[in-house]
Structure 1
Amino acid sequence: MEKKDLISKVDIMLVKELKKKVLKRIDEDFEIVDFSFALPYTYVLIKGKKGNSIGLAMTLIEDIQFCESEFDEIDVRTFIEKVDSVNIIERTIGLATINAVSQYYLNLEGAKFDDATGIIKDVKKVAIIGNMKPIVNKLKNRGYEVYVFERNPRLKSIDTLSDCFEYNLLPNMDAVLISGTSLINDSIDMILERSKKAKIKVLVGATAQALPEFFKGYLTHIASVKIINIKKVLLNLKLGSSSKLFSNEYSRKYYYNIL
């Protein structure tokens, strides 16, 4: 795909496109086994003909305006339909459901088993949307000029910039690593529009579990995590812990080139 084609597609609201694509991809009836809007991650566990699959979405406490949500039915399609709601709770559950369906269909053949830092090469300025500290530290140690943007006051530090500066600074970046939470707070379209000059655009994190093919033409890579021990991860999430979520015992980090 030519670069001009990649740029031209960012005018479309990506979350609405994502909803259409995943609803079209579903080819069997899934059962919702368990779900919870919880800290630090909301999760949805589904069951299909091939077994169980779990999808995650980080819970953005700072963006919750009210603590009410409403679903006509507790089923996969109903949850997914809410992913473009203005209610953050509904959006989060919707995205976790999209991720659960995506992980059910995900084929790891062709993936690289590393975190997002393995993608960054031959660039100077790197923007990181969301203070993902392990990634930030690795890239700084490798000598890149790193700009970290963060909205959550609890995650800000002396080394982070407010997300209000993304609009002016992103056009100067060579690479942009975007937290999957940008799909929840609906900042993804602005970020991509302002990052037109960046040759590397990566959606990153556990919230970025959607099928890579859904983002073709918008991003260059997806970097996320495949849960391999659903039972253990589910127990940890119920206890409000994500400390082992990214350990090799419970999951596998991966990234795809989707150009």
Structure 2
Amino acid sequence: MGIADRITETLADSAVELNVSDVRIGVKYVSVQLDNGSIGLAYLFPESLRCENMLLSDDSHLAGMNAGELLSWLKTNNSLSRSIGLAAANAVIGSPGGSTLSGDVRSVIGLQTGEQVAMIGHFEPLVKDIRDQCSLNVYELDTTMADGLIESSDAMEGLKSCDVALMTGTAIINGTIDGLLEAATDCREVVILGPSTPLVPEAFSGTPVTMLSGVVVIDDKILRVVSEGGGMRRFKQCVQKLNLRLN
């Protein structure tokens, strides 16, 4: 069973008890708010906004739908649907239980000098500090974002020889997460990170994942930020970064 299926199966019972009160489809992110006030986020790939990916007729509404229905969209083949489904999953999760560590992931993963690190997705704020201590390869769909980025198609091979893997949660949306995790079997540390990351340890049981590093929305002003096309830099006052150690 793939990660998307695991997420939907784990959250299904909780989701059917909740309804959707608000959905925002921005330029960079999607947000879903439930009738209990909980808000979830997920990244929106640029191609998701093409006309052929639009989901509903003009007289249809996402608000008012059951959260379980939106959650099931995570298993579709439509990129926009999957983003909405993952945002719904993150809203259902809300604030995760168990022991969490707050703060940036770089402060909790315990990198060792000289280790080989593979970063799937360009997390610019982390790059310099990691490169000062380790050998880092950054794999990215859009290699024009910065100098030295490697095509994401090479990530599978790179993961096989690295010590630490930092993977974007958006890999759940584009369907690459299962292959990436299979390639990372021998890594000492495998972290899924970013605002899209679902903080639900049960969905990653039996995989190489050792930590989930995501966010919990603490201020509904984030809905306006999403609507205005904002991203992580503008999310800062509206979210709390949390890290969940799996093993």
Pairwise same-fold verdict (TM > 0.5): yes
**Cα separation, 2, equivalents of 1:28 and 1:158:** 46
- 1:144 has 2:134 as partner: yes
Deviation at 1:90, TM superposition (A): 0.8
Q: Deviations over 1:173-204 (max 9, x none)?
A: 10101100000001001101111110101110
**Cα separation, 1, equivalents of 2:78 and 2:137:** 30
Counterpart residue type for residue 147 of structure 1: N
**Contact kept? 2:143, 2:151, Cα under 8 Å:** no
| Aligned counterparts, 1:163-242, within 5 A | 163-218=152-207, 219-230=209-220, 232-242=221-231
Deviation at 1:255, TM superposition (A): 0.6
Moved more, 94-103 or 13-22: 13-22
Q: Deviations over 1:207-238 (max 9, x none)?
A: 003323332222110001112112x2112112
Aligned residues: 237
Q: In the alignment, what sits opposite 2:43?
A: 58
- 1:21 has 2:10 as partner: yes
Aligned residues: CA RMSD: 2.1
Counterpart residue type for residue 162 of structure 1: E
Q: In the alignment, what sits opposite 1:76?
A: 67
Counterpart residue type for residue 237 of structure 1: V
Deviation at 1:63, TM superposition (A): 6.1
**Contact kept? 2:30, 2:41, Cα under 8 Å:** yes
Deviation at 1:139, TM superposition (A): 1.1
Q: Deviations over 1:118-167 (max 9, x none)?
A: 213236011110001012222123x1111100013553x22210011112
Deviation at 1:91, TM superposition (A): 0.8
* Structure 2 stretches lacking a partner, 5+ long: none
- 1:31 has 2:19 as partner: yes
Q: Deviations over 1:39-83 (max 9, x none)?
A: 2111101122xxx11100000114667322258973211111111
Deviation at 1:168, TM superposition (A): 1.6
Percent identity reads 22
Counterpart residue type for residue 79 of structure 1: L
**Cα separation, 2, equivalents of 1:175 and 1:64:** 33
Q: Deviations over 1:93-117 (max 9, x none)?
A: 11110010011x523x521112221
- 1:252 has 2:237 as partner: no
- 1:132 has 2:117 as partner: no
Deviation at 1:240, TM superposition (A): 1.2
Counterpart residue type for residue 150 of structure 1: E
* Structure 1 stretches lacking a partner, 5+ long: 1-11
Match of 2:101 among 95, 112, 120: 112
The secondary structure found in structure 2 opposite 1:226 is strand
**Cα separation, 2, equivalents of 1:167 and 1:98:** 27
**Cα separation, 2, equivalents of 1:233 and 1:96:** 13
**Cα separation, 2, equivalents of 1:14 and 1:28:** 20
Q: Please give the TM-score of this superposition, normalised by the length of structure 2.
A: 0.88
Match of 1:122 among 85, 97, 112: 112
The secondary structure found in structure 1 opposite 2:30 is strand
- 1:47 has 2:38 as partner: no
